[in-house]
Structure 1
Amino acid sequence: MENITNGKFTGRARRRSALAALALGMALLAACNQGGASTVETTADAAMHRANPARTGLYAADGPTEYQSIKWQFAAADWVFGAPAVLGDTVFVAGYDGHAYALDRETGAEKWRFDSGAEIIASPAAAGDLLFVGNMGGVILALDGATGEERWRVESGAGFSGSPAVVGDTVYFGNEAGLLLALDTADGAERWRFQQPDTNMPFSPAVADGIVYAAVSNGILYALDAATGEEQWRYDPNTQTNLHSPTADPVVADGVVYFMTTDTSLKGILHAIDVATQTVRWQYSSQAENFSAPAVSGDKLIWGSLDHKLYAVSAESGELLWTYPTEDIIFSAAAIAGETVYVGGQDMNLHAVNINDGRRRWQFRAESSVSSPAVVDGVVFVGTEGGIVYALQ
């Protein structure tokens, strides 16, 4: 994915151009078994993009099934594209203005802000007393979660459009120069690196069962040992007549890694790959590209598409279960809490949909396009293109 920074754009036009470049760059780089116990849910000691290192998008507590009110709202200086990270009594968000913000979870009051020096589009990750951020200038930062004080930084040489994953005392970052770094959370010391020259890693790595999964712009999904970085296996969907590019984060659940790509026909293809055998169980093809990775709960995979739809398919068979129409494209990641799916759209709506039948439960109209949500203890936290962060209940 191309670096979306361009100084000639300002305000809403700049943000919309950034989103278009984000999508174009990625493309050109080329029923009731709900809440199953074996599907990874939110971790209690860390908060990150898509709820957990496996990127399932599954949150442990139920979310609101009916809309009541805006609990609070906060105005950041610019576009908040990534999902908030909610840990303890703090909501952490990052903005296209280059700042990381810490907000009081109950009131939305600002606790602190930190200027990273370059635009941020990736979600931050919080673990223990630290907040981890990667910006489009290639800087990795560890900030004190309570004060915002810088603890350490690493210069990677290329920007981050994917979000960090934290597992134990290691944080994993993939950048736009095809570099995956495993760093010690305490001091930023490098544990290992995995490099694919002349590529980039535009999406968030997923970590599950001691394996890091990285989607690389050459169309290949790499499985690496989380402790050493050594390649364990790879999945390559490319053929002589059909080339693939990744379009979303890899997701791991119940012994399967889900890998979203687009091919030369610009169709969206979801590959379900058996981790044990490294073979494809099934593939699902849609007519449009999908820049939203599936959220997983039980036998259901849910994601949004550029064809103005939310899709639900069976995790077991890949069979289409239902679709839900929206007024514009869905570029953000869906979140699942209980039996409700929450997804933000370019139509300026946060949609709350029944996971079992795809029917609308409620809808919240924001002032601009809605980003990826996080759901914690019955509250939906989400940012917008206009820089507003909402806590909805």
Structure 2
Amino acid sequence: MQAMPEALVQPAHVMARRCPACHRVSANSERCLHCWRDIAAVSPLSDEEASKAMLVEAGLARRIDGGWLSFGRLWKVVSLGLLVLLVGWWVYATFIDKPPRPDLPSSAARSSAQGAWTTQDGDSRGSRATDAASHIGGTEAWKASLGSPVAVPLVSDGRLVVAALEDGRLVGLDASSGKTAWTKSLNNPPLSAPVIAGDRVYLAQREGLILVLGAADGAEIWHSRFVAGSFEASPLVVDGVVYAYSTDGLFAFDAEDGRILWEQVFEAGWATVTPVVEGKHLVIATADRAVVFDRTNGQRTYYVTFSRTQPSSIAIRDGEVLAVYGRNATLFASNSTRPWWDGFRTAWFRFHLIGMAPAVPPAPTLWDVTTLPKTTLAAAMGPNIAVVTSSDGAITALGRHDGKPAWTAKTSARLVAPPIITADGVLFAEGNRLLLLDVVNGQQRSERKVDGLRSVAPTPDAAFIANGAGEVFAIR
């Protein structure tokens, strides 16, 4: 075949643009090949300018390629290395690394009783709901004068009533007669209520210790070594394990002898809300998130974040967790898991702030409410309704399954304790009366005058009430 004369061969047309950011020239591209800036709107160079610029670019390329550790190659190597390390860390943490299984308790038989009021919030679920009646219309069965008001709410398993007093005494009362069964002097009154579990009483002390007494005589059985700066929330006793939560982390003790089974050390910020348990799930409330742990291995499985504020309460019921933080209430499934990319959430969020990534998807929840009163008390979580109150008496009842308002109400005086859902209504404690509202529509059903009301603990046989005069009495 005869070759074409050189005069007939036309050079290919090159459309070159100069990047306004890095001032390099890129040919036949609408994006700078050096800094990846969009240059589609930049006017192309003339043929003569393009030819000269491409000669300059070719010279630069030869000089750059001449050095093995050029900036471009160094950037690529470092980026690739970081990517390999990041992916390797994620694969190891997700599929290979298995946390050590914690020690088992000596016995799994000991738990706080269900159906009574053995914890500050009723039972181990923290729901502040009971099948017992309010006993609001009952007669006074007995009254005991203790000489000092209670410092924290009363607890009772139906046989024993335990009152922690402001003068530093812990008093056990016979629930049937009101007679003093025993008295234990403490260095300081606790910041939260004790827990009754079988024949023992468990108390988390502000000094960072767990104290265990016999329910029959108040004799000390064991106390833990110092493990935290201060315990501000009640302990929880479930399946032979004592769960104690402080600003220094979460601790699990053997309920029989105080041996530490496992611990998770972290900075909680706030640790005033008692942990809650249902099945294998343990939930705590820190300053900015509700965190779910697997009780079998002590590892975190899920969390929902909130604006940094003091948490009001958490409760768990039928596999659903209700977390109340300030004006926000959120319901989520306790068996939820975080997505595989959760380890990159912080980096993703930072890229989003500078406009290089979309918004980070929020954690999946069942519903969210953001219009609660500013100062909320612990919520009560029943089968079909959740009741949230503020100390000034504003009451909001939310549908348990959809979070929609069911009814609202306002008490005539400030509330001194969170609400309790009982078999015959929602029970509220004002400064000088007990108030019972209908759980369906919020209408008043009954009331009872109680001067200086401090605390109420409903059980199947009686409701135990404490007042500001240092008296505890039973109504049935």
Whether TM exceeds 0.5 here: the answer is yes
1:202 matched residue in structure 2: 272
> Which SS does the other structure have where 1:245 is aligned?
coil
Identity of aligned residues (%): 20
Q: CA RMSD in A?
A: 2.3
Instruction: Write out the 4+ residue segments of structure 1 that deviate beyond 6 Å after TM superposition.
Output: none
Q: Deviations over 1:355-385 (max 9, x none)?
A: 12212222233332433x3211242113234
Question: CA–CA distance in 2 between the matches of 1:362 and 1:290?
Answer: 26
Q: Is the 8 A contact 1:314 1:320 kept in 2?
A: yes
Letter in 1 for 2:195: A
Identify the match of residue 311 of structure 1 among 396, 401, 414. 396
1:351 matched residue in structure 2: 435
1:379 matched residue in structure 2: 462
Identify the match of residue 225 of structure 1 among 271, 294, 303. 294
2:130 matched residue in structure 1: 59
- The structure whose residues are more often strand, as a share, is 1
2:42 matched residue in structure 1: none
After superposition, the Cα gap between the structure-2 partners of 1:311 and 1:192, relative to the gap in structure 1 and judged at 3 Å, is: same
How far residue 151 of structure 1 moved from its aligned partner, in angstroms, is 0.5
1:283 matched residue in structure 2: 368
Letter in 1 for 2:317: A
Question: CA–CA distance in 2 between the matches of 1:287 and 1:298?
Answer: 20
Q: Is the 8 A contact 1:289 1:306 kept in 2?
A: no
How far residue 45 of structure 1 moved from its aligned partner, in angstroms, is 8.8
Q: Is the 8 A contact 2:286 2:311 kept in 1?
A: no
Letter in 2 for 1:168: D
How far residue 92 of structure 1 moved from its aligned partner, in angstroms, is 1.5
1:388 matched residue in structure 2: 471
After superposition, the Cα gap between the structure-2 partners of 1:81 and 1:260, relative to the gap in structure 1 and judged at 3 Å, is: farther
After superposition, the Cα gap between the structure-2 partners of 1:50 and 1:198, relative to the gap in structure 1 and judged at 3 Å, is: closer
How far residue 281 of structure 1 moved from its aligned partner, in angstroms, is 1.6
1:269 matched residue in structure 2: 328
Letter in 2 for 1:250: I
How far residue 201 of structure 1 moved from its aligned partner, in angstroms, is 1.1
Q: Deviations over 1:205-253 (max 9, x none)?
A: 0111211111012x1111112133211122113xxxxx33243231011
- The structure whose residues are more often helix, as a share, is 2
Q: State the structure with bigger RCO (CA 8 A, min sep 6), 1 or 2.
A: 1
After superposition, the Cα gap between the structure-2 partners of 1:288 and 1:190, relative to the gap in structure 1 and judged at 3 Å, is: same
After superposition, the Cα gap between the structure-2 partners of 1:366 and 1:46, relative to the gap in structure 1 and judged at 3 Å, is: closer
1:137 matched residue in structure 2: 207
Q: What are the within-5 Å matches in structure 2 for residues 215-254 of structure 1?
A: 215-217=285-287, 219-237=288-306, 243-254=307-318
1:158 aligns with 2:241: no
How far residue 287 of structure 1 moved from its aligned partner, in angstroms, is 5.0
How far residue 386 of structure 1 moved from its aligned partner, in angstroms, is 4.1
How far residue 55 of structure 1 moved from its aligned partner, in angstroms, is 0.8
How far residue 90 of structure 1 moved from its aligned partner, in angstroms, is 1.3
How far residue 160 of structure 1 moved from its aligned partner, in angstroms, is 2.6
Q: Is the 8 A contact 2:116 2:156 kept in 1?
A: no
Letter in 2 for 1:284: V
Question: CA–CA distance in 2 between the matches of 1:288 and 1:322?
Answer: 14
Question: CA–CA distance in 2 between the matches of 1:97 and 1:203?
Answer: 23
Question: CA–CA distance in 2 between the matches of 1:249 and 1:162?
Answer: 11
1:257 matched residue in structure 2: 321
How far residue 95 of structure 1 moved from its aligned partner, in angstroms, is 2.1
Q: Is the 8 A contact 2:115 2:132 kept in 1?
A: no
> Which SS does the other structure have where 1:280 is aligned?
coil
After superposition, the Cα gap between the structure-2 partners of 1:145 and 1:349, relative to the gap in structure 1 and judged at 3 Å, is: same
Q: Is the 8 A contact 1:140 1:156 kept in 2?
A: no
Question: CA–CA distance in 2 between the matches of 1:292 and 1:63?
Answer: 20
Question: CA–CA distance in 1 between the matches of 2:216 and 2:444?
Answer: 38
Question: CA–CA distance in 2 between the matches of 1:310 and 1:378?
Answer: 28
Letter in 2 for 1:222: V
Q: Deviations over 1:67-126 (max 9, x none)?
A: 233222223343324332222521122223222211011221111111121122311111
1:114 aligns with 2:184: yes
Q: Is the 8 A contact 1:97 1:120 kept in 2?
A: no
Please, which runs of 5 or more residues in structure 2 have no aligned partner? Answer: 1-111, 338-363
Q: Is the 8 A contact 1:82 1:383 kept in 2?
A: no
Length, aligned pairs only: 338
How far residue 198 of structure 1 moved from its aligned partner, in angstroms, is 6.4
Question: CA–CA distance in 1 between the matches of 2:146 and 2:311?
Answer: 28
Please, which runs of 5 or more residues in structure 1 have no aligned partner? Answer: 1-40, 238-242, 263-267
Identify the match of residue 367 of structure 1 among 428, 451, 454. 451
Larger Rg, first or second structure (1 or 2): 2
After superposition, the Cα gap between the structure-2 partners of 1:382 and 1:56, relative to the gap in structure 1 and judged at 3 Å, is: same
Deviates more, 1:291-300 or 1:181-190: 291-300
Question: CA–CA distance in 1 between the matches of 2:202 and 2:254?
Answer: 12
Q: Deviations over 1:15-50 (max 9, x none)?
A: xxxxxxxxxxxxxxxxxxxxxxxxxx9615982222
Q: Deviations over 1:177-217 (max 9, x none)?
A: 33221111111111111222262311100111211111012
1:342 aligns with 2:430: no
What TM-score do you get using the length of structure 2 for normalisation?
0.66
After superposition, the Cα gap between the structure-2 partners of 1:71 and 1:359, relative to the gap in structure 1 and judged at 3 Å, is: farther
Q: What are the within-5 Å matches in structure 2 for residues 165-176 of structure 1?
A: 165-175=236-246
> Which SS does the other structure have where 1:204 is aligned?
coil
Question: CA–CA distance in 1 between the matches of 2:371 and 2:151?
Answer: 25
> Which SS does the other structure have where 2:415 is aligned?
coil
After superposition, the Cα gap between the structure-2 partners of 1:355 and 1:261, relative to the gap in structure 1 and judged at 3 Å, is: same
